[in-house]
């Protein structure tokens, strides 16, 4: 049994005076214990909303969630907030994008960690504080005892994100969701945080869902990658397969637009043309069609289905046949 099973998850926002908007459209994926799964796609494709739905953190009003999310066999979507509170922080942990705004500015770092321990592991004040120092040490914050009494604004951006990771991992959750944990950080810090995350989850049975718009982040971390576009999964593959031979034109475009160390000198990065605003509705055809270099006529009238493809899944009428490197060579 998978640790987490997401089946046909749909999320629709209803706002007064506006048409309901579908942010996530029937997506399904599994996460096995200890596995690291990537959720990749550009801004607005529904990554954060998916993670919030799993955590039960979507606004209760205005957001309609359909489908099913089971965690260790238990359906999460029907649970009350009170029942979810027993799971959140203990079995499910989450790291957010912006560490400054995600930490309470008027509560000391130590307490923000130890309160999770007090809540779920029923530790006393003192033990929880000692454990919090230990956790800060584990996530690589020097002089943890002193840091316990400091406030978020006294820490650097990287240290804040380390503290958030310490909070999320405090109770050794079975699943950690990291939603663009490095986007708000300096480039040099980004790599440190990523290697910290992989170090903390590898060799444990904590599974990780890594959410990012950056395939480069996925490269060193994920076992399996789901590529999302316009609220749907368009390609799923093992990491090596995805990088060696991306099948979906969107994935292909994403790969071509990240800098690579092994790329020939002078190679230009090719961004995907257009932007999400060009999307057409999935009900009419392929949402990516207006931007797709491989588009066929049928792409504009016949929505592609997600089907098995070379050990992964693919949603495309005209998949890419050659790897980007090979394509480079041929030019």
Partner 1 sequence: MLQLALVVVVLSVLIFGWLRMLPGGPVSALLGDRGTAESRAELTEALGLNDPIFVQYFAFLGRAITGDFGTSTGVSPGKPAMELFLERFPATLELSIAAILLALIFAIPLGYLAARRRGGWLDNAGVVGSMIGISIPIFFLAFLLKYFLSIKLGWLPTGGRQSPDIDATRITGFFVLDGVLTREWDAAWDALRHLLLPAVALASIPFAVIFRITRASVLDVLDEDYVRTARSKGLTRRIIRDRHILRNAMLPVVTTVGLQTGALLSGAVLTETVFSWQGIGQALAIGFERKDFAVLQVVIIAAAMAYVLVNLIVDLSYAVIDPRIRSAQKVS
Which stretches of the chain bind ligand SF4, using CB under 6 A? 249, 286, 288-289, 292, 294-296, 299, 304, 316-318
Closer by beta carbon to partner 1, 4 or else 103:
103
Closer by beta carbon to Mg ion, 48 or else 190:
48
First to last CA, the chain: 46
Binds 54: which of ligand SF4, ligand ATP, Mg ion, none (CB < 5-8 Å by kind): none
Closer by beta carbon to partner 1, 92 or else 287:
92
Tokens matching residue 192: 């440190």
Closer by beta carbon to ligand ATP, 281 or else 327:
281
Helix axes 109-120, 157-169, angle to 10 degrees: 10
Tokens matching residue 149: 């009494």
Give the strand order in the sheet containing 63-71.
21-31, 4-13, 63-71, 74-75
Residue with tokens 């040099």: 188
Q: Restricting to residues 45-64, name those near Mg ion by CB under 5 A.
A: 48
Q: Restricting to residues 101-120, name those near ligand ATP by CB under 6 A.
A: none
The DSSP output letter for 317 is S
Q: Can residue 170 be called a binding residue for ligand ATP (CB under 6 A)?
A: no
SS3 state of residue 95:
strand
- Could you tell me which stretch among 27-35, 133-141, 147-155, 260-268 binds partner 1 (CB under 8 A)? 147-155
- Name which position in 2, 5, 7, 13 contacts ligand ATP (CB under 6 A): 13
Task: Tell me the per-residue interface mask from 55 to 84 with ligand ATP, x by CB under 6 A, - otherwise.
Answer: ----x-------------------------
- Name which position in 38, 41, 46, 89 contacts partner 1 (CB under 8 A): 89
CA-nearest of 130, 207, 122, 223 to 168 is: 207
Distance of alpha carbon 144 from alpha carbon 141, whole angstroms: 6
- Could you tell me which stretch among 44-52, 72-80, 262-270, 285-293 binds ligand ATP (CB under 6 A)? 44-52
CA-nearest of 204, 180, 211 to 96 is: 180
Distance of alpha carbon 315 from alpha carbon 237, whole angstroms: 12
Residues at the site binding ligand ATP, with contacts judged by CB under 6 A: 13, 23, 41, 43-49, 59, 213
Residues that bind Mg ion (CB under 5 A): 48
């Amino acid at each position: 049994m998978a640790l987490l099973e997401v089946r046909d998850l749909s999320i629709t926002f209803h706002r007064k005076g506006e048409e309901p908007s579908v942010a996530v459209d029937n997506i399904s994926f599994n996460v096995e214990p200890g596995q690291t799964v990537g959720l990749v796609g550009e801004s607005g494709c529904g990554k954060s909303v998916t993670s919030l739905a799993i955590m039960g953190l979507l606004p209760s009003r205005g957001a309609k969630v359909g489908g099913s999310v089971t965690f260790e066999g238990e359906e999460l979507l029907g649970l009350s907030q009170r029942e979810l509170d027993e799971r959140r922080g203990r079995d499910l942990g989450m790291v957010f994008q912006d560490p400054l705004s995600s930490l309470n500015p008027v509560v000391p770092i130590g307490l923000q960690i130890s309160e999770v321990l007090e809540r779920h592991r029923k530790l006393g004040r003192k033990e929880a504080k000692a454990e919090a120092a230990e956790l800060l040490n584990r996530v690589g914050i020097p002089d943890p005892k002193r840091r316990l009494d400091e406030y978020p604004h006294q820490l650097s951006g990287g240290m804040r994100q380390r503290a958030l990771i310490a909070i999320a991992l405090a109770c050794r959750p079975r699943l950690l969701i990291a939603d663009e944990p490095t986007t708000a950080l300096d480039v040099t810090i980004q790599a440190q945080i990523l290697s910290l995350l992989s170090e903390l989850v590898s060799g444990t049975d904590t599974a990780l869902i890594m959410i990012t718009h950056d395939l480069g982040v996925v490269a060193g971390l994920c076992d399996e990658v789901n590529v999302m576009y316009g609220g749907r999964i368009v390609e799923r593959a093992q990491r090596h397969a995805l990088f060696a031979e991306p099948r979906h034109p969107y994935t292909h475009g994403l790969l071509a637009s990240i800098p690579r160390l092994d790329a020939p000198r002078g190679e230009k990065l090719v961004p995907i043309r257009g932007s999400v605003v060009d999307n057409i509705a999935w009900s009419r055809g392929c949402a990516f069609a207006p931007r797709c270099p491989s588009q066929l006529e049928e792409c504009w009238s016949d929505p592609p289905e997600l089907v098995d493809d070379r050990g992964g899944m693919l949603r495309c009428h005209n998949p890419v046949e050659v790897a980007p490197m090979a394509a480079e060579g041929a030019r």
